[in-house]
Structure 1
Amino acid sequence: MGLLSQGSPLSWEETKRHADHVRRHGILQFLHIYHAVKERHKDVLKWGDEVEYMLVAFDHQNKKVRVVLKGEEVLEALQEKGERKNPNHPTLWRPEYGSYMIEGTPGQPYGGTMSEFNTVEDNMRKRRQEASSLLKENEALCTITSFPSTLTRNIRHRRGEKVVINVPIFKDKNTPFPFIETFPQDDEAAQAAQPNHIYMDAMGFGMGNCCLQVTFQACSISEARYLYDQLATICPIVMALSASSPFYRGYVSDIDCRWGVISASVDDRTREERGLEPLKNNSYRISKSRYDSIDSYLSKCGEKYNDIDLTKDKEIYERLLKEGIDHLLAQHIAHLFIRDPLTLFEEKIHLDDANESDHFENIQSTNWQTMRFKPPPPNSDIGWRVEFRPMEVQLTDFENSAYVVFVVLLTRVILSYTLDFLIPLSKVDENMKVAQKRDAVLHGLFYFRKDICKGGTAVVDGCSTAQNGTETDTEEFTLMSIDTIINGKEGVFPGLIPILNSYLENMEVDVDTRCSILNYLKLIKKRASGELMTAARWMREFVAKHPDYKQDSVITDEINYSLLLECNKIANELSECPELLGSGYKKAKYSGNKTGSSS
């Protein structure tokens, strides 16, 4: 999720008093890092995934399921058994936002060899096994995206009022129309709740969701900036492909992805910053929540597509320019630093700016965007990195591995073939909105670049629409379905999967690894074509067929119990689900804990 530290947290009023101090020293820390490693080249291509898990408990007698608030206890045990005893332990565990959540990563980053793609699923399975072994008989480790949770106060205090999250209700046969919730004891909620929407009013409804992320170490800062830009255009596509969160606060919604919910849940902008009142106590109008899509490309090739008005701290921007930082990177940092720190620990106020980066990370890591550009930590052997953040977590280790391998392979192809996916950033924003809609993977149309091989590399037949160095069409991009983008359409677009397959044919890959990769790409291909369901579509159909469902958009405790029980069985291979996974995919060896039984 970002910066998670231990210490004595200050109140919002105390944090606010130190906001300028944090920003000023955060910039100094960034400058120390930048000047120390700006010329750094030839770092090894490394990468790693992050899977966020929920801890739940099943009450089989009463057919209910609840989150288990023991993340800290489980985390302590995992770290004690793992990394504290053995620095080379194959898994690492970290805290997450909710006390019912934990985050697992591989113990060491993966490298650049193709054979490492064949170890991802085994490592994810090991993580599931390690954490599950610490749970009680009725408890389970689930990779599901949304389950309601707790509150966080500083968002509300800075904003001056509760956050407002209104998610459109799915209108079923017996759903009241208009659908209106009543809040007799809460006037603020009564005023903020919209008709035909599910209302939520706390950070936990968003940040309590789980996701799947991948971080890449690039060879240099320029390569990191290039990857950051290219992958930013892919974010909406992969988000729609991985859609897995159609339910909120006990209702069936009309969206499939968590992104907008989290964005609203951490929107700490005041009424002035949102443009609802004249600027008086605040410095800027800010167009987005601090959890949203990126606002500017970082590479020179992306500069002409920066068509979003960028709010930035002009003083910081000028300071960075004077320090020799180019204007694209300077405006990116100056834009991040229009935000206040949300949390500050008493022990972390006064730091050594030459050797620490907590103040920089305080701002950097609470700008939760689709992509994150990550400078190396001070005095480390870690290189320049980018983080790919839009994916929804999947039910099984096989699916999570498939999405991770797909994205990592795509980065290899982008770099190897110098592909160009860039379109105006405003169109990427439009794609983000489309991606969250119900069944966007089947019905959504997304702006996408027609000619991605402008460098002249003939990857596959039909990859380039260019003739004699000029484009056949004055428009560089057009609307495409996800099926066309992923699988290709003759005369329109070659498809990302055919390009990846072409890349694989030219690489030396052992038989087992090739088989695993092809199985993963097969899942992505069939999700894109609609032959296999997304998790969101599968969950909707499961609920629709449940005998307790009244076609009224309400998810009862019993429906919730049945759904999560089945999700747990599928995750631990105690139940097959060909609609979601297809047939013949690589079987995992781990059977998990036995919560699948309701005896």
Structure 2
Amino acid sequence: MGLLSLGTPLDWHESKKLNEHVRDNGITQLINIFKQHARSRNNNRFYWGDEIEYMLVEIDDEARTARLAIDRDYILSDLSDPDKPDSYLKATEKNVSFHPEYGRYMIEATPLKPYDGSSLSDYTYVEENIRDRRIVSQSELPPTIRPLTLTVFPRIGCETFTSPPAKPIGPASQSLFLPDEIINRHARFPTLTANIRKRRGRKVAINLPIYPDINTKLIDDSIPHRDLFSSDEEAFLGASKPGHVYMDSMGFGMGASCLQVTMQASDISEARYLYDSLAPFTPILLSLSAAAPIFKGFLVNQDVRWNVISGAVDDRTFIESDVEPYAGYDFFGGLDVDNQTKEHLINLGGGRGVNGDRVINNYGDTNLKTVDSKPIQKIPKSRYESIDAYLSDRTYSKKDSYFKEEYNDIFSPINKKVYDRLISNNEFDHNLAYHFAHLFIRDPLVIFSERVDQDNSSENDHFENIQSTNWQTLRFKPPALYPEDMTESQLQDKPGWRVEFRPLEIQLTDFENAAYSVFVVLLSKAILKFQPDFYIPISKIDENMEIAHRVDSVLNDKFWFKNGNLCKLENKDFAGYDLSWFDRFVNKGNDTLASENVYVNGYVSNGTMDSVKSRSGSIKGELCNESKYTTDAIINGNHEFPGLIRMIVKMIATELAPDLPQCPDTDSDLARKMLRIQCYLLLISQRASGKIPTIAHWLRSRVLTNPLYKKDSKISDSLAYDLIKDCEKVSDLDGSKDPQLLKDYFGESFASYLCAHTS
């Protein structure tokens, strides 16, 4: 959760005076990072790690209630404090590290040491490590409080959803629904909450469509009339929308949980290619991991949390969003502007002219400036959104470049001053300079008074202040700055050029979270091995992000994707590398083997797959650069495209396992690892095909079929308890508690397999 400095955070009205200081010094630090690492960091190992966020839920079976526990955050300090060895050693001895998150009821856990992407064993060890995180955290808690991997707590923002109870009267968020007591105690978090509101000039406003049922009143009747803060009236001035659930606090988004994966590339060029190649998959895997159909006690007409968290940290003012202000509110919000600038706006027509043509252009040139001369621009997206531009693969020397400038086809403003400074430096080409110049249109949200002055040759907190508060679907992560006297070999032991994959929703079980993490990393390895061309216009990715929010989008919708014939992948090259490859690796049999030791039965003689029918829905006729495909076709393949599963299986067969003994004893460690990886991929494959429902689909079904549900789109306290109990049982993966529940969740055959193979 960003940069956690120690010290005194400045209120927005003080910190905004230092905005340009942070940007200027942050860019100096970035330039120094590139000087230190851009050319010297080569041939780094493919290390990776995952981040999992838990919610501490107090379950009272006697009272039939489930509440978010906001008074147990002491376990974070205990598990991270070497002076408390009884707790600390539990974590370190299990290779687990715990970190604070936005919510006081949340904990984040990662491996203490990264996994080795070249080690087959580490792809199965990750599940053990994830399981240990839950076990260690549970050991610090009473049995009534469970660390659950819920994407969203179903009744967050409703009356009495915390333990102990707290009232929504806090000055940081000024929320009508969320008490400040849910916010992490570290000074950064309430300051972040307040400064977003103060910069924005009003509270955040998130509106989700209510799921329509036969008794549904398409109105959010939970909005109270209150006059504690002047912002209380915003819901009735236009912040809330008819037919939508209204949420007004950062906690609704940053208080949700997700799964993130970070991978270290060999060098900066490989990291850029991997970043670009993964971009088209961000909405597809968001859809495939969907787990959030309930917000603030309402069943909503979408399946994921992305737009909620996007709105929750949207610090744009009215003028930057290009919308009319509420009556009596300032266009400029909390920006520091003089009267001349305000008069200039009036001359432009009261703000109506703020657009890409009349007032600003793609480089941010404008007559509207803050007091410190930063241009005031139209900003199309929140700082938590999908990426705005590719980094370009032109420096990736292993192949010809696939990138074309026209793929960066959306309006994406930049900080022209930053761009000019970076482009004049030999380490930055246009695309890299553009990427960072776009990030640096943002203001720092939290500045610590003790960290205003830094040594730009060895510290990079000012850069990270901006970098870490641009929460996009992917994050391109440079190394940190290190002392100049460090040797090249010493630097190699420090984190290098990394790519963070951020859109995944958290899953209920350790098995699923391991499966999604492993899938992303194996896909990344396969991309680097086979070097496909997955570029599509950024505008198509943005459209896909909207599609991914829809109910059951993984089943009902199609996504823009590179035309399968243009991906630089041939179906015939992946024949035989389906999920049955694992069975053939482990088991002896009479299957016919081709000269390259792959199964050919079931495939026509020319190597194409005769059993796979076209499910792409691609545009017929003239070959187009991109077409619309089902998730099933993208994951499992069709007549045009081998699918991600086959890419991954062939990568495993030819890179991770080429020298391993085939047909090992079925009870051997190697056989168990192979079959576990097969099971991870099978979960992804069957979620894509619809054989296994997404968590969002399963949760919605549990609501709609529960006798406590009144067909009014509302989740009562008792209904929420039932849902949490179901989630708790599923999380344990213990079919003996409720075998039918697991069958409903995973499907009968898959549930039976997991129960038989999960200790």
Instruction: Name the TM-score class by shorter chain.
Output: over 0.9
**Take 1:347 and 1:146, find their aligned partners in 2: how far apart are those partners?**
35
> 714, 718, 723: which one pairs with 1:558?
718
1:468 corresponding residue in structure 2: none
1:321 corresponding residue in structure 2: 423
Q: Is the 8 Å Cα contact of residues 8 and 450 (structure 2) preserved in structure 1? A: yes
Q: Is the 8 Å Cα contact of residues 71 and 95 (structure 1) preserved in structure 2? A: no
The one-letter code sitting in structure 2 at the alignment partner of 1:328 is N
How does 1:489-508 map onto structure 2 within 5 Å?
489=638, 491-506=639-654, 507-508=656-657
| 1:173 and 2:274 are equivalent in the alignment | no
1:336 corresponding residue in structure 2: 439
Per-residue deviation, 1:407:
0.7
**Take 1:310 and 1:456, find their aligned partners in 2: how far apart are those partners?**
35
| 1:583 and 2:629 are equivalent in the alignment | no
SS across alignment from 1:459: helix
| 1:99 and 2:104 are equivalent in the alignment | yes
1:43–1:527 Cα change, 3 Å = same
The one-letter code sitting in structure 2 at the alignment partner of 1:302 is F
How does 1:538-557 map onto structure 2 within 5 Å?
538-557=698-717
Q: Is the 8 Å Cα contact of residues 474 and 502 (structure 2) preserved in structure 1? A: yes
1:569 corresponding residue in structure 2: 729
**Take 2:636 and 2:458, find their aligned partners in 1: how far apart are those partners?**
47
How does 1:326-405 map onto structure 2 within 5 Å?
326-379=429-482, 380=491, 381-405=494-518
Per-residue deviation, 1:329:
0.4
How does 1:196-211 map onto structure 2 within 5 Å?
196-211=243-258
TM-score for both structures, normalised by structure 1? 0.93
Q: Is the 8 Å Cα contact of residues 182 and 190 (structure 1) preserved in structure 2? A: no
SS across alignment from 2:565: coil
Structure 1 gaps of 5+ residues are 466-470, 592-599
**Take 2:290 and 2:132, find their aligned partners in 1: how far apart are those partners?**
25
1:139–1:590 Cα change, 3 Å = farther
Q: Is the 8 Å Cα contact of residues 96 and 133 (structure 2) preserved in structure 1? A: yes
1:16-59 Cα offsets, whole Å, 9 max, x none, are 11111111111011111111110121001100000001111112
1:10 corresponding residue in structure 2: 10
Q: Is the 8 Å Cα contact of residues 79 and 91 (structure 2) preserved in structure 1? A: no
Q: Is the 8 Å Cα contact of residues 488 and 495 (structure 1) preserved in structure 2? A: yes
2:50 corresponding residue in structure 1: 49
Q: Is the 8 Å Cα contact of residues 2 and 368 (structure 1) preserved in structure 2? A: no
SS across alignment from 1:119: helix
| 1:480 and 2:629 are equivalent in the alignment | yes
SS across alignment from 1:273: helix
1:376–1:480 Cα change, 3 Å = same
1:369-416 Cα offsets, whole Å, 9 max, x none, are 000000001125211001000000000000001101111110110001
2:666 corresponding residue in structure 1: none
**Take 2:756 and 2:33, find their aligned partners in 1: how far apart are those partners?**
43
1:457–1:440 Cα change, 3 Å = closer
Per-residue deviation, 1:88:
6.5
The one-letter code sitting in structure 2 at the alignment partner of 1:319 is R
1:128–1:175 Cα change, 3 Å = same
Per-residue deviation, 1:218:
0.3
Per-residue deviation, 1:121:
0.6
**Take 2:644 and 2:179, find their aligned partners in 1: how far apart are those partners?**
40
1:131-163 Cα offsets, whole Å, 9 max, x none, are 011111211101001122555211110000011
Question: Which piece of structure 1 moves more, 341-350 or 221-230?
Answer: 341-350
1:74 corresponding residue in structure 2: 75
1:106-139 Cα offsets, whole Å, 9 max, x none, are 1110012122111011000000000011111211
1:29–1:539 Cα change, 3 Å = same
> 526, 534, 559: which one pairs with 2:686?
526
**Take 1:313 and 1:72, find their aligned partners in 2: how far apart are those partners?**
39
Q: Aligned pair count?
A: 584
How does 1:228-239 map onto structure 2 within 5 Å?
228-239=275-286
SS across alignment from 1:438: coil
1:204–1:351 Cα change, 3 Å = same
How does 1:8-407 map onto structure 2 within 5 Å?
8-39=8-39, 40-70=41-71, 72-80=73-81, 81=85, 89-111=94-116, 112-147=118-153, 148=156, 150=179, 152-177=193-218, 182-185=223-226, 186-191=232-237, 192-276=239-323, 278=351, 280=368, 281=370, 283-299=376-392, 300=394, 301-304=402-405, 305-324=407-426, 325-379=428-482, 380=491, 381-407=494-520
SS across alignment from 2:319: coil
SS across alignment from 1:546: coil
Per-residue deviation, 1:535:
0.6
Q: Is the 8 Å Cα contact of residues 636 and 642 (structure 2) preserved in structure 1? A: yes
**Take 1:544 and 1:284, find their aligned partners in 2: how far apart are those partners?**
45
SS across alignment from 1:174: coil
> Which has more radius of gyration?
2
SS across alignment from 1:3: coil
Question: Which piece of structure 1 moves more, 37-46 or 177-186?
Answer: 177-186
**Take 1:41 and 1:71, find their aligned partners in 2: how far apart are those partners?**
44
1:296–1:71 Cα change, 3 Å = farther
1:431-455 Cα offsets, whole Å, 9 max, x none, are 0110011111111110011236427
1:168–1:472 Cα change, 3 Å = closer
The one-letter code sitting in structure 1 at the alignment partner of 2:140 is L
Q: Is the 8 Å Cα contact of residues 91 and 136 (structure 2) preserved in structure 1? A: no
**Take 2:37 and 2:434, find their aligned partners in 1: how far apart are those partners?**
19
1:87–1:439 Cα change, 3 Å = closer
**Take 1:256 and 1:74, find their aligned partners in 2: how far apart are those partners?**
32
Q: Is the 8 Å Cα contact of residues 233 and 428 (structure 1) preserved in structure 2? A: yes
1:73-113 Cα offsets, whole Å, 9 max, x none, are 01112123466798675101111111111100011100121
SS across alignment from 2:275: helix
**Take 2:534 and 2:439, find their aligned partners in 1: how far apart are those partners?**
24
**Take 1:136 and 1:436, find their aligned partners in 2: how far apart are those partners?**
36
Structure 2 gaps of 5+ residues are 157-177, 181-192, 227-231, 324-330, 332-350, 355-367, 395-401, 483-490, 576-607, 615-619, 661-669
**Take 2:241 and 2:294, find their aligned partners in 1: how far apart are those partners?**
17
**Take 2:277 and 2:693, find their aligned partners in 1: how far apart are those partners?**
27
SS across alignment from 2:59: strand
2:358 corresponding residue in structure 1: none
1:7–1:484 Cα change, 3 Å = same
Q: Is the 8 Å Cα contact of residues 90 and 136 (structure 2) preserved in structure 1? A: no
**Take 2:569 and 2:634, find their aligned partners in 1: how far apart are those partners?**
19
Per-residue deviation, 1:512:
2.1
The one-letter code sitting in structure 1 at the alignment partner of 2:429 is D
**Take 1:228 and 1:561, find their aligned partners in 2: how far apart are those partners?**
41
**Take 2:313 and 2:152, find their aligned partners in 1: how far apart are those partners?**
16
Q: Is the 8 Å Cα contact of residues 125 and 590 (structure 1) preserved in structure 2? A: no
Identity %: 45
How does 1:397-546 map onto structure 2 within 5 Å?
397-449=510-562, 450-451=564-565, 453-454=567-568, 459-461=573-575, 473-489=622-638, 491-506=639-654, 507-508=656-657, 510-546=670-706
Per-residue deviation, 1:366:
0.3
The one-letter code sitting in structure 1 at the alignment partner of 2:674 is R
Per-residue deviation, 1:499:
2.3
